[in-house]
Structure 1
Amino acid sequence: MTTNPIIIEKSTLIAQRIKQVALENNHHLILTGSGVSATLKKSGLDKNLFNLRHLNFLSITQTCLQSVPEEIGELTNLTTLILHSNEIAELPSSIGRLINLKMFDCSKNKLTSYPQELGNLLQLKKMNFASNLLESIPSLRRNVALSMLNVGNNKLKIFPDVCYAELVCLSELYVNNNKIEKVPITISQLPALKILNLECNLLLDLPVELANCDKLEKLNVQLNEMSDDNLKRLCECVSNVKKIFDYLKLNVTENKSRIVHQYINLKKDNLFPRFDRMHLRRHQLLIEGIIHDKAVIKVTEHVDSVRPFIAACIVKQINFTEISFKKFLQLQTKLHNGICENKNAATIATHDMQFIASGNLTYTAKPPVELKVQPFMRNKIYTGDTLFKQLQAEAENVCKITKQDVYPERYKYLNLLEGKSLFPCLLDHSGQIISFPPIINSDITKVSLSTQKMLVEVTSATSYTICRNVLDQFLKELLISCIINPKLSETYGYNFITVEQVKIEDTDGNQKLIYPSRADFDENLDKNIVVEREGKIP
């Protein structure tokens, strides 16, 4: 039997209509207008609403509703939730239990934030938070079905955290009328982006990587204070997508050419002394022997059957800027997608050493239900079993969306743990799990702008050679591309980092590996790098 939405008239009480929906087994309920507002002011939202477990469409609009009850999480069959044009100032975390939700409209309210549990909704396709008071939003990386996001007309200062290859369906992105100053260079990772609205922000330029968004058809960058007058003129017309792309590419080419010519002229006029010329080309990597008590990792026999290989080192003298920190984050993504083969060959994890308990670390394995970790960007503890099943659900959902029979490349590493009775993990001296490879790092030890010393660990199910090669590449690109201490680099005219060795031992104290040893990081790896070893380096 076909059912029609029930529209609440002015004189209708909410309780009566909830009862009517229950009796008729209607799957739609719409509450709207001044009559509903009057009832809300008098007696609030009738909690019997949340007994309608069969509902798949709920709309409460143009009312004085100020908050959504925690019980909303009981309506797990909802596919559409419309709450626009109210006075809602907060949403409950229980909204993350609406696992079948596909469309959520909470625009035109008074939200200053929304719960990160929304990131758990793997079926969510359209999300509208336009015209609120949002200053930031949680990562939407796990919303792999998301096709449209509207956060226009808010108070966002940072571009939404959505620039991930996992978001294979995200084609429409509206961030207009905010206070965003930069578009991340990772914007090009969105494979399906067709519409991007950046109108009326605080942008001074656009990244050349934007030109790599091959499917982008509509780009609105009007009403931004572009520092380049030519670019600003191009941005005044929303139909100039190709012209903007061509200009961005041309501008980068011209800048590179100008830098080369400046260097040639200075060299020709002998304005560079010999010493400085050498160091402009050759960056410095200083390797120190073991100093810290955190520089020994004990490996137990429990990892032998699941993920036996690990190598690590400590990077010192870090002084990130916002730019270099973003490049650092991008570097990890680049290496995971490249030399790590989407985590199938190896996985990189980085940790701020100030949050690691003093003493030796332990690399071991635990039963999935006993492994407990606070994952990166999460504020609660999860078991390894829960995290693994969530990722499996994501992968299966992407398969449904893309109509594939096998996991996409970026999820194939899950096969490494499929059916395993033990999951690998790295513990600090207090027993706190700081890494669950190849799944995720701990949020407790995450690297940030304030990090000064960093533990870098690479694990693999294949070999120590893979671990060493990945660390070699990581240090090389960290040195050349990230410039983790720009102030020192400006002072001396070249980049340099200091790396302390980390020893890998079994539980009896027998050495399995030490990195970087004299056999690692050969100068031939890159002619622009000078490797210096302090003291007796094994």
Structure 2
Amino acid sequence: MGVWPEVTTVKNENRHEIKLSGASISKRISEEGLDNNLFQLTNLNLLNISDTCLTIIPDDIKRLVNLQSLLLFGNKLQDFNENITSLPKLKVLDLSRNEIKSIPDSLNKMKELTSINFSSNQIEAMPKFVDFPNLIIVDVSNNKLTEFIDLEGSNLPHLTDLKLKGNAIETIPSYLPQSLPLLKNYDMGDNKIKVIPGELANLQKLKELNLKGNKLTDKRLMKLVDQCRTKQVLDYVREHCPTSDPQAQMKGKGKKGSKKQEDTPIEEAVCDLCHSMKILYVEDNIPNVQIIESHVGAVRPFIVCCIVNDLNFTEASFKKFIQMQTKLHDTVCEKRNVATIATHDLKKIAPGNLTYTAKPPNVLKLVPLGRSKPFTGEQLFQQLVAEADALRKEKKRNVYSGIHKYLYLLEGKPKYPCLQDSNKQVISFPPITNSEVTKMSHESTSMFVEVTSHASLGACKTVLDKFLLETLLLGQPGQDQGYHTLNVQQVKIVDTEGNLKSVYPSRTDCVYEDAANVKVFRLPKK
């Protein structure tokens, strides 16, 4: 067997890296085996043999004493050759997408390692980690682990990424905050975890936590995991999940107790000391919104809604309210690119459930705000474009203004999103306009609020959280000028089968940690 040309090139040009990958290399390996001259290249810093039929790592791997990166992913390796652990300078070890079943304890000899990737193998158990002073990333996802890697008492001062997704691990140890002080990204998705230890909330640097795909016994936590961000999940874990320290557990119970107090009817003395948002749980007589996902999925698939009761505007305060809504469209809604807010006089909406759907432009029909006659979506779009062009020429400007600057968000769409009442009457055409039929005024006493987005459900909730906070802070005439109250009613979003998709505000919504003078009270059904 002759020397492989890649090996000859590296040797003649004194290169420090070699990559042997793909079908042609795989064919050579199957016919004649790996070229042993490769292991005479002792100056190599990087060796990449990937996506081949390689089944064995030769013992001569130990001769490559200057290797810093060993990339052997996507092969047919079944055994971890312990000679790898004698490589004194190795920093990056990638054996992902092979058929390896076990990892030796001698892995702990590799003090220079910064990254370990053993994902997508057949590994059933990992050795105890003792001392890895430089290790930053560990990925053992998609294996057959049934137990968590033993990290207790380990020295892992720089580990930021730990990925164990897609195994059969049943428990998470409580000591992680002590062993992994800098952990930022932690992926435990698709395992068999049932209970989350409260200590997990003590991972001070944690930014991304994935627990999806586990059968958590705490159903509320499981819903949070699926729908919410890491911070909200960790806040819940801190308040509600058990800890191994009995004293800490008692403290946690104390916190739970205070949380329960929050859920009971509000004492007026508390309301007198802060702004109060009172959230009433969803009731049978409250209309819900049915989402036709097959229609809106391609254009604007996300919506959340709620009802605000006991409004008492004056003409002046209503003007401030409309100005606030316009400001939010420019800021938190990012000029309606992220989400759009629509408000309706609840008493002007036909009784019964609403439907969020999408219709072809020539089928959708509504009386737009400020207009006296109905338009189809297509007619309204063309009318607004014509008005915008005329206004631009009149003002001698190069840009659109007002509602016209949002037209591009719908340009070329085969269907337009809309919210319709129980009589199939369109009351909202996001992100462009509402219907004149349900228009708010200073005389409105109850308000139906919708927020829609093409981006995410989280974006909708963030915007509606902000809208409710700003509405609370504006206050209502007749309320104490120091502190205000806002009464909010939950509204459900359901699918065509009546299954719950979301409810707003949920327990994880309207959490105003930066607003010390705002208290949120969640009231039971009347």
Q: Into which bin does the TM-score normalised by the smaller protein fall? A: 0.3 to 0.5
TM-score by length of 2: 0.46
TM-score by length of 1: 0.45
Task: Indicate the structure (1 or 2) with the bigger Cα radius of gyration.
Answer: 2
